[in-house]
Structure 1
Amino acid sequence: MIEDKNILLIAPDFFDYWKIIKNHMENYKNTVDVILSIESENLGLRLVERYGNKKIKEYFENKYYIKRANSFNKNFDYILVIKGDTLNDSVLQELKNNFPKCQFIMYQWDPIEQFPSALNIIKYFDRVFTFEKEDAEKYGWSYRPLFFENVLCKEKTQKDIDLVYICTMKYNRIKLYKKIVEYAEKNELKLFSYIYVDKLTYLKRRWLQHDMLYSKIDKDSVHFKPLNQAEVNMIYDRTKIIVDYTNPQQNGLSIRTIESIGHKCKLITNNNNIINNNILEHENIYIYDENNFEITDDFINSKYKEVDKQVYDFYSVDGWLSSIFDNINSEWKK
């Protein structure tokens, strides 16, 4: 891992993952400055990104990103961009002009099929990584799955929660939530669930649009504040099995999948592509049918099978950073 460098991190404000990346880069004596994606700044800019036309969005994006990058008043050795869907040509060209000796690195943690705007800006980057193997093969990028925060994983915690399901409030995820609740009650399993939705979205969808998804679910099951990383990690430490829902458009391994390694939990997922990745012992994986959510008693009652230490270290955030900055071992192979 690189040391004693000036790094600018541009990332979404998504469940504090940017803080994990920043903290671990600083552990190696790097100076790290952060610009959160423009929609994270305030409600006004969020509305501009959601509803503004291209000209208006580019105006505010240029003003926001360039002003912040220049405010640090330093020469950066690296600029690491996570996702980058709100960066336009003008912003990146200005950054290139202002920091001509800087290496530009982009990491995609969403499929290109869902966020194709990344294809418009890859020409500005020296290295591009993605968590999607198919995107890596198609566009000639480096394949690198996500990471878990190893510092917060407490191995000796008693695992007293049978199933955990944490999700945002979207139709297929809520359909699955109802099936999990029913399954846990029927089989007398202890379930921890947490459904997050933005309060403004909830009020609009429930009371103005009368969305059936929002109207039918018990409001006490819905939370307007996401769990922070410390809270999620404490829950996973106590968990035997994590339930993962992967969007059908996504082939890459979800963050929940990788976190199951760090917290030594078994995993229940709908992502069939996990079989093609050598990251988990197959005894720890169960692929469920969304239409008929059932889990065998053998899997529920089986013990977690330890993964190889090299695999564990590789999928830690330090292993991820080594791949990103040193461009080594991007894909774990047994």
Structure 2
Amino acid sequence: MSEFPLGELSKPITKLIETVSSGIGVLFEPTRVVRKAKADAEAIKILARAKVEALAIHESVIKEQYLALEQEKLSREFQQKINRDNVIVETANQLKGRRVNNIEVDKDWATQFFSFVEDVSNSQMQLIWAKLLAKEIEKPGSYSKRSLLTLKYMSVREAKTFQTIVTYSLINQNGNVLFPMFAESYLRENFPELGYSKRTRLLEDLNLISIYNFPVTVSFGPIEGKDYVWIENGEMAIKIKGNNRDDVGEITLQGQLFTEIGQELARLVSYSDQKIDYLQKIVPALLSRGSKNGKIKSLVAEFGRTDENMLHEHTFLESETLRWTDIFKK
């Protein structure tokens, strides 16, 4: 069992407590929040019998019916509380080391959030909901109510499919998420069960990806005031530079564009199992599109793993470098 991490209440945890209290309608006290595998069946029986006895029902058949209904109700409510508490505990873990602003999470948003997570028992989905809440607490307004509704009706299988598509997608400087056409071959090779029509239908039904005006052209231009193009891929990224600022031009790619809901939920995807191999294969294609004034041989791509803080700084935890001249020599 894992208890709510107390000690000194940091600003993120204090804001979490305030958000939970706002969402569930009562003052939230984290001192006794503990994750359990299942409800205490014996305690539920005792409480249910006590409530039925208080009704002073003398007919045994009716009393037993009331008792069964009361036990069912208490078991359901107990499980809902466990589900909610599991998400709260994991959210506290996600908030460790993060900075949060002073803007309060919208009360209506919080109320809807906690009404949804009460019915989420799967540990993988609880983790996704916890990541979402942590990001919303960090920066309120990051996730719309429509995204909450989409996630509510998303199955584990659908979530895994979405995660796979996001893993192969690229994010530009404006936050647009694109599944590029050249990624299709990698998807077929590694996930043959995700046929194009099946995948498109699934993501369209969930309003996560747009099928209109396919293929869509998305621009990956140089960062304003910088001499490089920065392309995100979750916890991975690609930085394309030249010898001079004028060497790097706008990179345009075609593919399927994520909807606003898809872009919001894409930020929840974990890339811990993603291989650097994918970036190694697509970097030459990006370099070939990134030249300005025909100076393609001057281009260099640095790519590798980063983290949420380094994304804003456009730096890497660990990276590799590939020059166009190296490709040209081959």
Q: TM-score range by the shorter chain?
A: under 0.3
Instruction: Work out which of the two has the higher radius of gyration on C-alpha atoms and give 1 or 2.
Output: 2
| TM-score, normalisation: structure 2 | 0.22
Q: Per chain length, whose mean CA-contact separation is higher, i.e. which structure has more relative contact order (CA < 8 Å, sep 6+)?
A: 1
Task: Determine which structure has the larger helix proportion and give its number.
Answer: 2
